[in-house]
Amino acid sequence: MASSLKSLVNDDDRYQKSFQLFLERSSEHQCMRDFIHNKLPDILASIGDGKSHLNVIGVGSGAGEIDLEMLSELHKKHPGVTVDNEVVEPSRQQLYNYKVLVSQKPDLDYIKFNWNTMTASEFEEHWKAEKATKKVDFIHMIQMLYYVKDPEATVRFFQGLLGKNGKLLIILVSGKSGWGKLWRTYRAQLCQPDISQCVTTGDIKSFLDSKGVRYQSYELPSQMDITECFTEGDEKGELLLDFLTEVLDFSNTASPELRAGVLEMLRHPDCSVESNGKVIFNNNLEAISLDQLS
């Protein structure tokens, strides 16, 4: 990352604002919901091996909306089963929002929530320090591998926690998305060296293939309206640019050349389509499902 630029994740307030705007301008959560209701039930059908109690870990659970939808599908597939749910999320605000959401939802008595205000790597250290031996039936890592130093090691650790018939679900941006093209072009200028901010499912599948690890993958078509990014000084456009680049106050801190190059790339046919005066960015995601290590 260029030395003059600061990462958006350093300012949690602005990050949360830009993330909320991203959700409003994109079909991100809708494409996840389509996957959760149409494809995930088949993935969840085989877990548990007839047990009356299931262990679940959500890594980077955010405010919990997507978690609770997955837990609802799990409950439909395995009615009568109780669930121990480890929630791993470093943002106190997001964890608070998750707890509020749980308090407003009826019929969650079958779930015991354990709240962990920590990153994935802190949770890994905590798990090892506790010498925990319990095996886990379902682990999900939704849009979070960007924030770890070594995605391969993180995936290996959590896959190693799976019990018989357990499933690990990863959702990230697709290597074929606009994000993939943007990051391949501007990795050196935009991506932080101490985390894996520019990782896509293409990278994850490459290392799984190199190790001969079997997986299933599912494309999740998604798009995002980024038209406001092209109106100079537009407050929402600048928030979206911060989110797209993961750079704090990108418009004012990036060099004019970098800003112009990124805006040109965002408009490029490899990243976006232009329709009815709008610029629609390819926000495609991909889900990868892994079994217990054999």
**Cα torsion angle, 111, 115, 121, 124, sign:** negative
**d(C-alpha 9, C-alpha 108), whole Å:** 32
Helices (H), the chain: 12-25, 28-38, 40-44, 65-77, 92-104, 120-130, 151-159, 178-190, 201-210, 235-245, 250-253, 256-267
Say whether 28 counts as a known binding-site residue: yes
105 within 8 A of 72, measured Cβ to Cβ: no
Whether 150 and 140 have beta carbons less than 8 Å apart is answered as no
Q: How far apart are CA 282 and CA 266, in angstroms?
A: 10
The helix (H) or strand (E) run that includes residue 167 is: strand 162-173
Cα separation values, 59 from 88, 252, 277, Å: 5, 33, 38
Among candidate residues 208, 217, 223, the one with its CA nearest the CA of residue 283: 223
**Closest alpha carbon to 287 in 115, 85, 38:** 38
283 is in an annotated binding site: yes
Nearest to 158 by CA among 133, 141, 175: 141
Q: Which residues are annotated as a binding site for substrate?
A: 28, 283
- Return binding residues: 28, 283
